Amino acid sequence: MSGIKIITDNKKATHDYAIIDTYEAGIVLLGSELKSLRNGQCNLKDSYVSFVGDEIFLQKAHISIYQASSYNNHDPERIRKLLMNRSEIDQIYSAISEKGMACIPLKIYFSKGRVKVQIAIAKGKTKGDKRDSIKKREVNRELQRAVRHSKR
């Protein structure tokens, strides 16, 4: 994947949710927000995607204030419009209308000079599901260690 530079990942999302489907969306930004993103000053923790009318928006994504800008700065947690095809928006809307489904951002990245947001349709994990995924991850680590040690 050449030409892609990841700005930030939402690591908490993969811990709290089971990812079902992913989409790529453009985002409407101000100039100072773009400069902050180039410096990597972004946080997706606790952010989510919502619908207002028939449009889709990113909420609670924190893009820090650009320090070199004086009076033209932005609100760090303002609501930002996402740009997607109508058919994709309709698919997401119908999927999250089911009980227990949510639409969350996974990562923000530069792709060919443009800022993109990878959003996912996800189902919330229960406490038991989280424990199971932690156990699976630990077992996989132990297997990898055993394979490495047996090769020596």
- Tokens 């609501």 sit on residue: 79
Q: Is residue 95 part of a domain?
A: yes
Q: How far apart are CA 116 and CA 24, in angstroms?
A: 7
Query: Is 150 part of a structural domain of the chain?
Result: no
Domain count, the chain: 1
> What CATH number does residue 121 fall under?
2.40.280.10
Confidence of residue 2 (pLDDT cuts 50, 70, 90): low
State the residue range of the domain holding 93: 4-125
In a domain, residue 145? The reply is no
Q: What is the pLDDT of residues 55-96, one digit of tens each?
A: 999 999 998 888 877 677 777 888 999 999 999 999 999 998
In a domain, 98, yes or no: yes
Q: How far apart are CA 34 and CA 100, in angstroms?
A: 33
Specify if 132 maps to a domain.
Answer: no
- The candidate with the shortest Cα–Cα distance to 43, out of 81, 15, 13, 83, is 13
Any domain includes 137: no
On whether residue 32 sits in a domain, the answer given is yes
